[in-house]
Amino acid sequence: MKLSKLQLFALGAVLAVLVIVTHSQHFATQLHLPPATWAAFFLGGFYLSRPTFLVAGLLLVATIDFVAMTWGGVTEATFVPAYLFMVPAYSVLWWAGRRFASLYTPRWSTLPYFALSLTSILAAEFFASGGFYLLMNPQGVISPMGLWIYLVTWLPETVQSFFFWMAPAMLLHTVITVLRLRSHPEAYVQK
């Protein structure tokens, strides 16, 4: 789906606002909204192809976390060496969105690619939880079973929040695509 510069800016702004409102949990807790950060990085990769948007997203999340830690009462546990594992976690989601965008056509045949790209949430969680487990393990004992327990503790919440935001995004994308197909069917003729 080709977007104008204004549409790209608007989409980037919407994703940034979602991250600001839900990542810090200040507003999201009151509204009972899960964090949109994981989905925002995947969608950012899909729609906002330039790496500068990835860097902007990483800086935005780091700024939110810094503000939460400095003025919001969040413990310093947020900014520890393991926090650096969030960079590959978010980047995996971005790359998966970018990769799916390169394969995407508005046809059922791309559905398996989409399903495969959504597994990026597992890789992202592995980086995030794995990094915190390896570098912040309070018992100091690291084992494959301990890592597994840590992953399965956090994975359900991560997957739930990811799909909470991805489901309406996919629905909106589908509706817009169908409307575009109806108004410009020649634009989607397979060559």
State which residues form the domain around 104: 5-188
pLDDT in tens, the chain (191 residues): 678 889 889 999 999 999 998 887 655 556 678 899 999 999 999 999 889 999 999 999 999 888 877 776 666 555 677 788 999 999 999 999 999 999 888 888 888 888 888 889 999 999 988 888 887 776 677 888 888 888 888 899 999 999 999 999 999 998 988 888 888 776 665 54
pLDDT confidence of residue 29: 58
pLDDT of residue 191: 46
pLDDT at 25: 62
Distant-in-sequence, close-in-space partners of 176: CB < 8 Å, separation ≥ 6: 1
Tally the C-alpha atoms within 13 A of residue 138's C-alpha that lie toward its C-beta: 2
Rounded alpha-carbon distances, angstroms, from residue 86 to 37, 91, 109, 123, 180 = 11, 8, 32, 11, 37
**List of residues 6+ apart from 112 with CB closer than 8 A:** none
Provide the number of structural domains found in the chain. Answer: 1
- Asked whether the beta carbons of 35 and 89 are under 8 A apart, the reply is no
Spatial neighbors of 100 by CB under 8 A, at least 6 apart, are: 45, 46, 113, 114, 117
pLDDT at 121: 92
Amino acid at 158: T
Q: How much is the pLDDT for 30?
A: 63
Averaged confidence pLDDT in the chain: 85
DSSP string, 83-134: GGGHHHHHHHHHHHHHHHHHH--SSGGGHHHHHHHHTHHHHHHHHHHHHHHH
SS3 (DSSP) at 47: helix
Q: How many CB atoms lie within 10 A of CB 151?
A: 17
